[in-house]
């Protein structure tokens, strides 16, 4: 029995090692705007992303209609992800190749020289080694624009080599169709990657279980450093159960809501049980933030020190102890 137990432990260790090796980090998120979510094997539901977070084999990244993201692979290749896109990270340890499977949407890729990189969809595969290209994918097919270098494109019906200033269409049942395009016709959405406003969050003071407290929200124009005067809708979400938010102190508290900011300033009320939490803030054209929140439990006993100087001109001290019933 003991032998079986040892064998079981060894098998567990091997499988654990294998799974760790298979889940080596592939890419890091360096910038995003708007609402961007990810889902990993460890987490069942989509969660808001955080700047600097790492993606592994099998992770899914999704941008909403107001979302964009930029990621770097460890090999130095860079990918920008457009609005309304969903991709899956893939890698092959044996061939040292990395790939992105694009379910829907559009991505721009700047692939480092010597890096093996594929972009896949249900319509075909584009393989590159050091180039710059843009891929859009939907139910009808996949389109690929080559900005620099060469891209090998294939589907079940054929294979072609696309050079720069070309646009290639992949359709089910047809071989890849390549046409030459002017440089001015190449996609430029990837150049618009700057935040219009900067988000600042503050919540001073100690937080106590069950007591609402305020979070101050400030939006500043990233160009002028003054308060952002345009209207902006901010999506706010408590990332854990046990912490709720509301627009006013006496409103009903909920897990998520939207804050409409008009003159660059707003406030949010938070209430929760004791523990460590995070609140996620995202909005169109801004980089979102996670605000860490620590709520202390209500003390069931408190000691008060009372000091006074008596008629004898000496200092006296009385310790008062209060207990919660």
Partner 1 sequence: MLKRMLLFFVLLSGLLQASQLLHTRYESVIKGQPLLFNLELRDVFLPSVDSVELFYKGDVDGGYTKVNMTSTAPGTYLLNMTPVLNDASEFQYYFSVRMSNGSILTLPEIFPEENAFIADVKKSESDPSIRLLNPINKGIINDSQPVFLISFEDPYDILDLNTVSLKIDGNDVSKDAHVVDHFVSYLPSSPLSEDNHSLEFHISDKNGQDHMIQSSFIYQSKSPSLVEWKGNESLLIDLYASDVSPNTRTGSRVRNMVEMNMKSGFINADIYDFRTSEETDSLQHQNRTRLVLYDDHNRVRLFLKDQAPVYSYYGLNGVNIDGIGAQINWPNLMQFNMVEGESARAILGDSNPSINKNGTFSQKVFSWQIASKTGGWDNAISYVSFKDDKDSLSLTSNWGTSLPQENRVLGWQSKLNLSPDQSTYLKSELAGSVFYPDISTGDILTVPTETKKVVPEFILNAIPIRAGMTAGAAGMIEYQTPIILKELLIKTYGNFALPGFKSFGNTSIKTDDLAGGAQLNLNVWRGAMSFSGAYQKNRDNIMNIFDPNSSSGYITYGDDYQTNVNMDVFGLAYFGYNYSFNSRLNNATDDVALIDNQTRTDLFSLNNIQLQLDKFKGKLNTNFSVINYADSIISQNNFNQRGIGFAIDTEFIPIKANFSFSNSIKDAKGPTPNTTVYSAYGVRLDYEYIPKILSTYSSIQLQLGLNNGDNIDARLDTNKTTLGLGALYRYPSKIGFFVDTKFYVDVTITTVSDRLADASDKSKNYTEQTLLFKLTTTF
3-class DSSP state of 52: coil
CB 73 to partner 1: min, Å:
8
Q: Which of 195, 227, 246, 247 binds partner 1 (CB under 8 A)?
A: 195
Q: What whole-number distance in Å separates Cα of residue 3 and Cα of residue 9?
A: 10
What is the size of the binding site for partner 1 (CB under 8 A)?
27
Q: Compare residues 210 and 292 and give the one whose CB is closer to partner 1.
A: 292
Phi, psi of 250 (to 5 degrees): -100, 5
Q: DSSP alpha helices (H): ranges in the chain?
A: 2-22
Smallest gap from Cβ 45 to partner 1, in A, equals: 22
3-state SS class at 3 = helix
**Contact code string over 60-99 relative to partner 1, x by CB under 8 A:** ------------xxxxx-x---------------------
Question: Which of these ranges, 57-65, 112-120, 134-142, 203-211, lies near partner 1 under the rule CB under 8 A?
Answer: 112-120
150 near partner 1, rule: CB under 8 A: no
Residue 223 engages partner 1 in binding (rule: CB under 8 A) = yes
Measured from the CB atom, the residue of 73 and 281 that comes closer to partner 1 is 73
3-class state of residue 89 by DSSP:
strand
Q: Does 103 bind partner 1 (CB under 8 A)?
A: no
Taking CB atoms within 8 Å and a gap of at least 24, the contacts of 83-88 are 83/34, 86/60, 86/61, 86/62, 87/60, 87/61, 87/62, 88/58, 88/59, 88/60
CB 214 within 8 A of CB 267: yes
**Alpha-carbon gap, residue 131 to 99, rounded angstroms:** 14
Q: According to CB under 8 A, which one of 112, 129, 154, 169 is a site residue for partner 1?
A: 112
Please give the residues from 23 up to 42 whose contact with partner 1 meets the rule CB under 8 A. 24-25, 28-31
Near partner 1 in 266-325, by CB under 8 A: 287
Q: Does 173 bind partner 1 (CB under 8 A)?
A: no
Q: Is 224 a residue that touches partner 1 (CB under 8 A)?
A: yes
Which sign, positive or negative, has the C-alpha torsion 205, 210, 212, 216?
A: positive
The whole-angstrom distance between residue 101's C-alpha and the CA centroid of its chain comes to: 18
Question: By CB under 8 A, which span of 111-119, 233-241, 263-271, 292-300 interacts with partner 1?
Answer: 111-119
Among 44, 114, 204, 205, interactor with partner 1 by CB under 8 A: 114
Token pair for 110: 């700047």
Which of 276, 295, 293 is closest to 202 using CA atoms? Answer: 293
Using CB under 8 A, list all residues that contact partner 1.
24-25, 28-31, 51-52, 54, 72-76, 78, 112-114, 194-195, 198, 221-225, 287
């Amino acid at each position: 029995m003991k032998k079986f137990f040892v064998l079981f432990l060894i098998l567990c260790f091997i499988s654990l090692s294998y799974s760790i090796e298979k889940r080596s980090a592939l890419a890091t998120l360096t910038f995003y705007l708007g609402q961007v979510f990810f889902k990993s094997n460890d987490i069942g539901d989509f969660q808001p992303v955080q700047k600097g977070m790492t993606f592994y084999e099998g992770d899914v990244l999704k941008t909403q209609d107001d979302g964009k993201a930029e990621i770097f692979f460890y090999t130095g290749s860079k990918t920008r992800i457009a609005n309304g896109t969903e991709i899956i990270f893939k890698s092959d340890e044996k061939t040292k190749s990395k790939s992105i499977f694009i379910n829907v949407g559009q991505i721009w890729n700047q692939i480092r020289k010597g890096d093996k990189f594929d972009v896949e969809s249900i319509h075909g595969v584009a393989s590159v080694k050091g180039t710059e290209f843009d891929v859009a994918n939907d139910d009808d097919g996949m389109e690929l624009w080559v900005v620099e270098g060469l891209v090998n494109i294939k589907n079940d019906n054929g294979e072609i080599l696309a050079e720069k200033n070309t646009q290639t269409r992949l359709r089910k049942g047809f071989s890849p169709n390549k046409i030459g395009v002017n440089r001015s016709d190449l996609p430029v959405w990837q150049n618009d990657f700057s935040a219009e406003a900067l988000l600042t969050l503050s919540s001073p003071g100690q937080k106590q279980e069950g007591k609402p407290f305020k979070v101050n929200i400030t939006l500043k124009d990233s160009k002028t450093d003054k308060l952002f005067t345009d209207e902006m809708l901010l999506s706010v979400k408590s990332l854990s159960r046990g912490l709720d938010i509301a627009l006013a102190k006496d409103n009903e508290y909920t897990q998520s809501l939207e804050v409409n900011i008009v003159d660059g300033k707003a406030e949010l009320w938070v209430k929760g049980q004791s523990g460590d939490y995070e609140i996620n803030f995202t909005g169109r054209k801004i980089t979102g933030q996670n605000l860490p929140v620590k709520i202390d439990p209500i003390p069931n006993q408190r000691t008060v020190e009372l000091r006074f100087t008596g008629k004898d001109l000496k200092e006296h001290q009385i310790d008062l102890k209060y207990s919660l019933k």
